[in-house]
Amino acid sequence: MGLLDGKVAIVTGAGHGIGRGEALELARQGAAVVVNDVGGSVHGEGSDKRAAEGVAEVIKGAGGRATANFDDVADWSGAQRMVRQAVEEFGKLDVVVNNAGIVRDAMLFSMSEGDFDAVVRVHLKGTFAVTHHAANYWRDESKAGRQPRAAIVNTVSSAGLQGNVGQANYGAAKAGIAALTVISSLELARYGVRANAVAPGGMTRITATLRKDAEVKEPDELEGADYDHMNPANSAPMVAWLASDDALHVTGQVFRAVGHRITHYQPWTLGPTVETKGGPARWEASDIGPAVNAFIFGSRAPGLQIGG
């Protein structure tokens, strides 16, 4: 018995790395999986059906159910076809794991408009497009009296939630996905849909672009070996749990799942507040510095110095 017996899942960007590990784990837990991947390079160039087909064959070879899908997640019609394929081939859709992504790193002053747009398109628009069409399917099911027990698990990153030099496009997209996750949880709850996000880790084609001489292995190549902190499949069990009915009480949350550690991200919260003296009134700009320094920064020093 698996946590996802009888469920049908879509995993985007599932041809390699983290997405591949997630697809294999969801199948291991009993889900039928639509393995989506265009088979492009880590920079979003080209296509190759073998990426998705290979993972689907691994799942079927292990006795599971899977089908390959080659649509571009950020193509509106392609995202719709993906959802239709799940329903037509497996009878329904219960889980969407949005993982597809690319990188085109550069400093702000060197990043081209095309590189910014391409990364935001795949990550943020791609997550939205697939979620949009899945949400329409689940809303229709709910209105027809077949209330779903559905789950969305999005992929975020510390680059977006904590920042990383050279990844303005990637980080901005991932931060946007975190916000989209929370909003999705609020809008879709009435239709029986939960939405959460995971910031995974591991040695993948993307992380390898940041390290020289990195050796990238697929999750199934590491099966049976000793525990490896950088195995890209380490976060997959967390994704499977969030997708399962064991996590029906969890929605609108963001987690970091790297290696053997699971950490709960705390959302943006309001900290100390200062008010104008003598009651409500418009601030004088010259009064703000002393008030902020004393009561927010806790110091009457001139201020926080960049690089100081």
Q: Which pLDDT belongs to residue 228?
A: 82
pLDDT over 90 for what percent of the chain?
Answer: 80
Mean pLDDT value across residues 70-95: 98
CB 78 within 8 A of CB 38: no
Residue 3 lies in a domain: no
Q: Are residues 300 and 151 in the same domain?
A: no
Is 302 a residue whose pLDDT tops 90?
no
Backbone angles phi, psi at 252, to 5 degrees: 75, 20
Q: Are residues 97 and 121 in the same domain?
A: yes
pLDDT over 70 for what percent of the chain?
Answer: 91
Q: Which pLDDT belongs to residue 308?
A: 42
With 0-12 / 13-18 / 19 or more C-beta atoms within 10 angstroms meaning exposed / middle / buried, residue 30 is middle
174 catalytically annotated: yes
185 catalytically annotated: no
Q: Are residues 157 and 287 in the same domain?
A: no
Is 23 a residue whose pLDDT tops 60?
yes
Distance CA 89, CA 308 (A): 60
pTM of the model: 0.90
Mean pLDDT value across residues 93-105: 97
Q: Are residues 239 and 278 in the same domain?
A: no
Q: Are residues 175 and 274 in the same domain?
A: no
The DSSP code sequence of 52-114 is HHHHHHHHHHTT--EEEE---TTSHHHHHHHHHHHHHHHS---EEEE-------B-TTT--HH
CB 193 within 8 A of CB 186: no
Range(s) of the domain holding residue 293: 270-308
Tens of pLDDT, residues 135-159: 999 999 999 999 999 999 999 999 9
Tens of pLDDT, residues 211-254: 666 666 766 666 767 778 778 889 999 999 999 999 999 999 99
Choose, from 125, 137, 157, 184, the residue flagged as catalytic: 157
Give the count of alpha carbons within 13 A of 1, CB side only. Answer: 1
Distance CA 180, CA 112 (A): 25
227 catalytically annotated: no
Q: Are residues 109 and 83 in the same domain?
A: yes
Choose, from 7, 137, 170, 184, the residue flagged as catalytic: 170
Q: pLDDT grade, residue 180 (50/70/90)?
A: very high
DSSP 122: I
Residue 103 lies in a domain: yes
CATH of the domain at 61: 3.40.50.720
Mean pLDDT value across residues 30-58: 94
Q: Are residues 306 and 173 in the same domain?
A: no
Residue 60 lies in a domain: yes
The DSSP code sequence of 184-234 is HHHHHGGGTEEEEEEEE-SS-HHHHTTSTT-----GGGSTTSPP-TT-TTT
Q: Are residues 15 and 104 in the same domain?
A: yes
Distance CA 24, CA 19 (A): 9
Residue 283 lies in a domain: yes
Q: Are residues 161 and 211 in the same domain?
A: yes
How many domains in the chain? 2
Is 121 a residue whose pLDDT tops 80?
yes
Choose, from 137, 174, 235, 244, the residue flagged as catalytic: 174
Residue 111 lies in a domain: yes
